[in-house]
Amino acid sequence: MNIVVCIKRVPDTAARIRVTPGGGIDASGVKYVISPYDEFALEAALRVKEAAGSGTVTALSVGDAASAEQLRAALAMGADDAVLLQGEVGMDGLATARAIADEIGERRPDLVLFGMKAVDGDQQQVGLMTAELAGLPAVSVAASVEVEDGKAVCHREAEGSIEVLEVPLPAVVTITKGEHEPRYPSLKGIMAAKRKPLAEKAAALGDGRITVRDLSEPAARPEGRIVGEGAAAVPELVRLLREEAKVL
Amino acid sequence: MSNVLAVIEVKDGAPRRVANEVVTAARALADGLGGEVHALIVSGGGASPDALGAHGADVVYECADDSLAEYQAEGYTQAVAGFLDGRDYAAVLFGATSQGKDLAPRVAGRLRLPLASDVTGLEVADGDVVATRPVYAGKAIARVHIDASPALVSVRPNVFTPVEARRPGAVETVEARVDPSAWKVRRREVLGGSGDRPDVGEAPIVVSGGRGMQDPANWGMLEELRDALGPSASLGASRAVVDAGWRPHAEQVGQTGKTVSPQLYFAVGISGAIQHLAGMRTAGTIVAINKDPDAPIFKVADYGVVGDAFEVLPRLAEEIRRARAG
Ligand SMILES: Cc1cc2nc3c(=O)[nH]c(=O)nc-3n(C[C@H](O)[C@H](O)[C@H](O)COP(=O)(O)OP(=O)(O)OC[C@H]3O[C@@H](n4cnc5c(N)ncnc54)[C@H](O)[C@@H]3O)c2cc1C
Ligand SMILES: Nc1ncnc2c1ncn2[C@@H]1O[C@H](COP(=O)(O)O)[C@@H](O)[C@H]1O
């Protein structure tokens, strides 16, 4: 069972995002992490491999040299090897998907796992686009994935219900939280990670066709007000919702 | 070409509310480009398209097949991509609903076209489509230029308020170019879920509870408030209560949950951590109920009530029920 997990380096969700005049973000003082859903995907991959009893988990990232830090973290969590596709990643998820599909085409893994979305661009698209480019069937937003008889069985979080879907391997699955509490790397894992292979090559991104014109910080919400205390404030609150906000 | 296609989501035989938003967004874009709005309904047949003409669709294409009665990603991707084959559009708009978030990237990938997801604004600049998208869960706002024709876009629910703009909305039937023998994903079963409430990511009114609710058994009070607010209200949750197993992850609002933009958002017993605020700060009106007057949630709330949720909630449900009845 050979699995590729795609992980992206993103600012920590606790980070305050400051926009620079050039239309980028100020990285100083920002801690970078593996995007949370990608950690869930990595956890899912490790469990599938453990259940299969053999195979490899390869962590893959597209980005600049700094992404090696997140790949090392993935190796410390238990991935067997890692590959960094070096290139400049922008807003066009299709370009990222192209680079990943290219690599998938060479490696031909049984299963390719993605996070449901990366929490920087919030595009929620790269996994499914990669599947289309690679000609693989795909299931999105899986709360769990298990492999049986050459099929991936997924619990997909649909609207208001859970769909149990099965898809023949090789396949793409995008992962949501579910029961995927990511494991902490052990000290041994961290030591071992230093010796695990991390390959680097150029990413076949092609031209991105979605470009950022400008980036700004959201307008501050107008100062709100405390309507009152306790249940006694309710009539006034309801009046404001009706007459001022006009939302009732 | 300067026409815009609105891909319509159908539920229980009728276009969903978000469909009118997508058509409204398409109308504004088409007016900027000097083109028509076409709506595409993929379904099992019989979906009533009246509202689409009312919101600005010049033509409604019905692409029906028995195999498409329920959403099935591979079939719908074939149908939409097949429809687009040989037709020229300046832009194709989807709703960024849970279905749209599954369908749009597949269509984009199949057609090798880029996609701007979950946009909150659209404009035409020098004949090209420029979209506004919140990034970092709304901590920053990007304006992006889409250098592709058609420009593929999914629009965030509840943002493009439907506007009446009567057009013919003439219905034309088109062949569904689907091949079920090529579908690889099989649905074994569907678990749980009455599914009668909108997803928290799409609901125009959201009632969210946090750790301040103290026990999952107390959710009855939030349900009562939700019910008082009518059928379009849904429940949300903070991560603390999802992690505690009190509520499903599907209800989580925030940077690692759903990003929501409802018209009205209630945060009850939620402190207002940065990851939670990121997911709901674009709501129209925010109401916070918290017993701690210094809770950060009050900084973003339009209306705050300082107090015990267990005292405030029953009264609030009652007053809202009365207000809506009267
Ligand atoms: C990587 C990462 C991602 C995260 N993503 C998310 C996310 O997507 N969404 C999210 O919500 N959080 C997220 N968090 C967690 C976030 O940091 C907070 O821990 C969480 O939002 C707190 O939930 P809470 O407000 O319910 O609980 P608390 O912070 O414990 O707040 C409870 C509040 O209830 C009030 N209260 C107590 N009793 C009562 C009462 N009787 N009546 C009224 N009020 C009362 C208290 O005053 C307090 O303000 C994330 C954290 C990390 C590290
Ligand atoms: N630069 C990248 N490198 C590796 N994986 C990525 C990258 N960008 C996106 N992904 C994967 O695609 C998923 C969806 O990303 P997105 O479409 O950007 O929200 C992420 O959760 C990752 O699994």
Record: contact A230-B308, CB cut-off 8 A? yes
State whether residue B141 sits within 8 Å of chain A by CB: yes
Task: Give B142's contacts (C-beta < 8 A, 6+ positions apart).
Answer: A91, A212, A213, A214, A215, B132, B133, B134, B135
CA of A122 to the centre of ligand 2 (A): 9
CA distances for B109 relative to A31, A92, A131, angstroms: 32, 12, 8
A77, pLDDT greater than 90: yes
Tokens 């999802």 belong to which residue?
B242
What is the C-alpha separation between B177 and A124, in angstroms, rounded?
A: 26
Q: Which two tokens stand for residue B239?
A: 């991560």
pLDDT of residue A124: 98
CA of B88 to the centre of ligand 2 (A): 30
- Cβ atoms B86, B67 nearer than 8 A: no
**A124 phi/psi in degrees, rounded to 5:** 50, 55
Q: Where are the beta strands (DSSP E) in B52-191?
A: 59-64, 91-95, 115-119, 121-125, 128-135, 140-146, 151-155, 170-174, 186-191
State whether residue A224 sits within 8 Å of chain B by CB: yes
- Cβ atoms B266, B208 nearer than 8 A: yes
pLDDT tens per residue, range A28-59: 989 999 999 999 999 999 999 999 999 999 99
What is the C-alpha separation between A13 and B199, in angstroms, rounded?
A: 23
Record: contact A241-B303, CB cut-off 8 A? yes
State whether residue A70 sits within 8 Å of chain B by CB: no
State whether residue B264 sits within 8 Å of chain A by CB: yes
Tokens 């919702």 belong to which residue?
A241
CA of A230 to the centre of ligand 2 (A): 45
A172, pLDDT greater than 70: yes
pLDDT along chain B (326 residues), means of 10: 94 89 98 96 86 94 95 97 97 97 98 98 95 93 97 96 93 96 96 78 96 98 97 96 94 92 97 95 96 97 98 98 91
Cα-to-chain-centroid distance, residue A208? 20
Task: Give B268's contacts (C-beta < 8 A, 6+ positions apart).
Answer: B207, B208, B209, B210, B212, B213, B222, B225, B288, B289, B290, B309, B313
pLDDT of residue B283: 94
Count the helix, strand and coil residues of chain A and give each as a percent rounded to the nearest 5. Answer: 30, 35, 35
pLDDT tens per residue, range A123-138: 999 999 999 999 999 9
Q: Which two tokens stand for residue B297?
A: 């949630």
- Cβ atoms B76, B94 nearer than 8 A: no
DSSP B271-319: ---HHHHHHHTT-SEEEEEES-TT-THHHH-SEEEES-HHHHHHHHHHH
Peptide bond into A170 cis (omega under 30): yes
What is the C-alpha separation between A98 and B235, in angstroms, rounded?
A: 38
Point out the residue among A91, A94, A247 whose CB comes nearest to the CB of B285: A247
What is the C-alpha separation between B138 and B134, in angstroms, rounded?
A: 5
What is the C-alpha separation between B304 and B170, in angstroms, rounded?
A: 48
DSSP B62-80: EEE-GGGSS--HHHHHHHH
Q: Which two tokens stand for residue A227?
A: 């309507």
Give start and end residues of each alpha helix (H) in chain A: 36-52, 68-77, 93-107, 126-134, 187-193, 234-239
Q: Which two tokens stand for residue B81?
A: 């991509």
Q: Which ligand is nearest to the CA of A91?
A: 2
pLDDT of residue A21: 86
Helix axes of A93-107 and B98-111: crossing angle, nearest 10 degrees: 70
State whether residue A100 sits within 8 Å of chain B by CB: no
Taking CA–CA distances from A226, the nearest residue in chain B reads B304
pLDDT of residue B193: 66
What is the C-alpha separation between A7 and A243, in angstroms, rounded?
A: 48
CA distances for A177 relative to A75, A89, B92, B170, B182, angstroms: 20, 25, 31, 44, 30
Task: Give B260's contacts (C-beta < 8 A, 6+ positions apart).
Answer: B158, B200, B201, B203, B206, B236, B253, B279, B280, B283
Record: contact A167-B184, CB cut-off 8 A? yes
- Contact residues on chain B for A162, CB-CB shorter than 8 A: 190-193
pLDDT of residue A46: 98
- Contact residues on chain B for A242, CB-CB shorter than 8 A: 323
Q: Tell me if residue A224 falls in helix, strand or coil.
A: coil
State whether residue A175 sits within 8 Å of chain B by CB: no
Report the amino acid identity of residue A206. Answer: G
- Cβ atoms B281, B138 nearer than 8 A: yes
- Cβ atoms B191, B284 nearer than 8 A: no
CB-CB neighbours of A200 under 10 Å: 13
Q: How far is B138 from chain A (nearest CA, A)?
A: 7
Record: contact A238-B316, CB cut-off 8 A? yes
Task: Name the residue among A160, A238, A8 with its Cα closest to residue B317.
Answer: A238
Q: Which two tokens stand for residue A170?
A: 């090789």
Record: contact A94-B108, CB cut-off 8 A? yes
Is the ipTM here above 0.85?
yes
Q: Give the confidence band of A220 by pLDDT, cuts at 50, 70, 90.
A: confident
Whether the CB of B304 sits within 6 Å of ligand 1: no
Count the helix, strand and coil residues of chain B and give each as a percent rounded to the nearest 5. Answer: 35, 30, 35
pLDDT tens per residue, range A107-164: 999 999 999 999 999 999 999 999 999 999 999 999 999 999 999 999 999 887 899 9
Q: Give the confidence band of A179 by pLDDT, cuts at 50, 70, 90.
A: confident
